[in-house]
Amino acid sequence: MPELPCYPPGVRVFCAWCLKEGKPDAEALIGEKQPPADDSHGICPAHRTDIEDRVMALRLDAERRRIEAEQQREEAERLHKLVDP
């Protein structure tokens, strides 16, 4: 990021996931924030979207499993009534 001469340089914020993937600092750089601090870490928009997609998939899977368990419970109750009225 180019430094503007009228503003002090800020603290660079990197996407920790991008760095873990081995991307260079220039690609992992999210932006800058005001000091006091050393370089900091956050998450870039691409990795945030990835996390949100994963969370949504997990929620949908959990809901599907909850419904299946409820249906199995109801079927077990129905069968139990047939065997032991």
**Which pLDDT does position 40 carry in this prediction?**
72
**Which pLDDT does position 69 carry in this prediction?**
97
- The gap between the terminal CA atoms of the chain, to the nearest Å, is 76
Instruction: Return the percentage of the chain with pLDDT > 90, whole number.
Output: 56
Per the CB < 8 A criterion, the answer to whether 47 and 17 are in contact is yes
Q: What are phi and psi of 4, to 5 degrees?
A: -90, 130
Interatomic CA distance for residues 29 and 13, integer angstroms: 6
Structure token digits, residue 82: 């047939």
User: By C-alpha distance, which of 31, 57, 35 is closest to 43?
Assistant: 31
pTM of the predicted model as reported, rounded to 2 decimal places: 0.59
Q: Is 8 helix (H, G, I), strand (E, B) or coil?
A: coil
Q: What is the pLDDT of residues 37-74, one digit of tens each?
A: 566 778 899 999 999 999 999 999 999 999 999 999 99
**Which pLDDT does position 39 carry in this prediction?**
62
